[in-house]
Structure 1
Amino acid sequence: MVFNPDFLGTHSEEGQANPLLKYLQHQSPEVLARVARSASPEIKQIISQNVQGLVGMLPSEHFNVQITTDRENLAGLLASAMMTGYFLSQMEQRMQLEASLTGSFSLSKDGKDDA
């Protein structure tokens, strides 16, 4: 997954009022790149499938598909993909936590632990 730090140099009216953007502007490129690379292959695959579904996917061997959009719609698509990635990352962490907790103790049939 790639992160474009150049967008942090944006000085729009919205950007100046956005505390998250200000926070990101103060992060080193290395930190931003490390966070961007932290997505698992499973998350990347799901995001890719989601974006392809949003854009429309025709088999490339039979169609030469070109998609045209404007800046606002593309920004919305990217924001959706980013939010999907954040959501999936949180769910992946939850799944791993549940798996580790399930492996560390067993639950009886009535829902109480055996310890």
Structure 2
Amino acid sequence: AALLTGCGGDGDEGKGGGAADGGQITLRIGTFGSFGYDDATGAKLYAEYTKAHPNIKIEESNVADAQKYWDTLKLRLSRASGLADIQALEVGYIAEATGPAMADKWADLGTLGGAD
């Protein structure tokens, strides 16, 4: 099982405008293993979301091996570079990821409003 959580990225890298100006938004999502969000699994969650939000394009970056993903994620967090807008996190790593060494690397999306 995993938890999707937002993290501070390294800028928009010229990916387009924001929601405030009605521009196109590219949402980068980092996952590992098989999450079942894409069309290949039949869930089609990305397609459903982008249909409901036509100004949002989703780009998923998937690493098959969970340990390799975690090792790379830790490195990217420490550098605050190369991160997706949303990073999947294995439940077993939550304590380490949110502990004192990395707590400031994550953003609590619940504080941004719109969660109702």
Q: Same fold judged by TM-score > 0.5?
A: no
Q: Determine which structure has more spread, i.e. the larger CA radius of gyration.
A: 1
TM-score if structure 2 supplies the norm length? 0.23
Q: Which has the higher helix share?
A: 1
Q: Which has the higher strand share?
A: 2
TM-score if structure 1 supplies the norm length? 0.23
